[in-house]
Amino acid sequence: MPDGNRRWAKKNKIDFFNAYKTGFENLKKILDKIIDYGIYNASVYILSYENCTKRNKIELDFLFNLSKEGFNYIRENKKLKDNDISVKVIGDMSIVPNYILNEIRKTEEETKNRKNGVLNLAYCYSGEWELNLIKNGERPPSLHMMPMDLLIRTGGVKRISGFFPLLINYAEFYFTDVLWPDFNENELEKSLNWFSSQPRNFGI
- Count of CB atoms situated within 10 Å of the CB of 201: 6
Q: Strand 41-48 vs strand 117-125: parallel, antiparallel, or unpaired?
A: parallel
Q: Which of 10, 8, 5, 9 is nearest to 23 (CA)?
A: 5
Residue 3 known to be catalytic = yes
Of 3, 5, 77, 120, the catalytic one is 3
Catalytic residue among 18, 32, 41, 51: 51
| Selection from 31, 64, 23, 45 nearest residue 162 by Cα | 45
Quick check: is 61 catalytic? no
Q: Give burial (CB, 10 Å; 0-12/13-18/19+) of 98.
A: exposed
Task: Tell me which amino acid residue 105 is.
Answer: R
Write phi, then psi, for 151 (nearest 5 degrees): -115, 120
Nearest Cα residue to 89 out of 50, 121, 63: 121
List active site positions: 3, 51
